[in-house]
């Protein structure tokens, strides 16, 4: 599947009428070269939770079968290659190859869908999953919890951070490219934020 080249600094992947940026703030340990955690808004958390709703066929289509670990990509390729004479006559291959998948919020629908698809109504609600009353903390392995000063200090102790000067804050923008990379990394790694964002950050 051809993935459109999009600017990471804007949300051109949103519906064409939308201009809201989705971003999160990373706390980076520059000495250990890892993301400790991210401060995230409701929209980011809604996007991450929305990944749990994706059908496997949609995941393969988004990431392409070649990048999939295991044999699930070969199943997708087999459906593509199997002749019509072997398929049930009333079955559309799109049920398997292009399954519709929901998005919980208009604010994050474009993080996996190109703008044309996001604008044609694959959104089943606009309220998302979590409330907007707090900032959320997203761990490197995608554990999510409400943000607080106490939890931040506890985590710094847990990570055994000795040099506060080695910590760096960095705001990153989320677009379609980042959304796809987050999806892929979440299936392959427990250092998701580090693998997606750190290599592009000057530490």
Angle between helices 72-81 and 56-63 (to 10 degrees): 90
> Tens of pLDDT along 56-113?
999 998 898 888 878 888 999 999 999 888 889 888 899 999 988 777 666 676 787 6
> Tens of pLDDT along 10-54?
233 233 333 346 899 999 999 999 999 999 999 999 999 989 989
The DSSP secondary structure of 77-112, one letter per residue, reads HHHHHS-GGGS-TT--THHHHS----BS-TTTGGGT
Q: Give the H or E element holding residue 183.
A: helix 176-188
The domain segmentation of the chain, as residue ranges, is 22-54+101-200
Residue 151 and residue 2: Cα distance in Å, rounded? 41
Looking at residue 163, its pLDDT comes to: 87
Please provide residue 170's backbone torsions phi and psi, each rounded to the nearest 5 degrees: -145, 125
Residue 177 and residue 179: Cα distance in Å, rounded? 5
Looking at residue 120, its pLDDT comes to: 46
3-class DSSP state of 27: strand
> Tens of pLDDT along 145-195?
999 988 888 999 999 898 889 999 999 999 889 999 999 999 999 999 999
- For residue 8, is pLDDT > 80? no
Q: Which residue has the tokens 């490197």?
A: 140
Looking at residue 139, its pLDDT comes to: 96
């Amino acid at each position: 599947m051809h993935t459109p080249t999009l600017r990471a600094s804007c949300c051109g992947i949103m519906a064409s009428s939308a201009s809201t940026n989705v971003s999160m703030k990373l706390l980076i340990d520059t000495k250990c070269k890892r993301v400790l955690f991210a401060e995230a808004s409701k929209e980011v958390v809604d996007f991450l939770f929305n990944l749990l709703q994706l059908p496997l066929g949609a995941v393969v289509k988004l990431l392409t079968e070649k990048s999939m670990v295991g044999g699930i990509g070969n199943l997708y390729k087999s459906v593509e290659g199997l002749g019509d004479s072997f398929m049930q006559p009333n079955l559309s291959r799109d049920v398997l190859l292009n399954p519709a998948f929901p998005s919980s919020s208009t604010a994050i629908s474009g993080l996996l869908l190109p703008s044309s698809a996001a604008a044609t109504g694959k959104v089943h609600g606009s309220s998302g999953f979590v409330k907007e009353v707090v900032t959320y903390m997203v761990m490197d392995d995608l554990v999510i919890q409400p943000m607080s000063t106490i939890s931040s200090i506890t985590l710094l102790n847990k990570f055994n951070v000795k040099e506060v000067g080695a910590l760096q804050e960095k705001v990153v923008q989320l677009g379609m490219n980042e959304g796809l990379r987050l999806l892929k990394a979440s299936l392959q790694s427990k250092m998701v934020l580090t693998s997606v964002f750190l290599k592009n950050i000057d530490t």
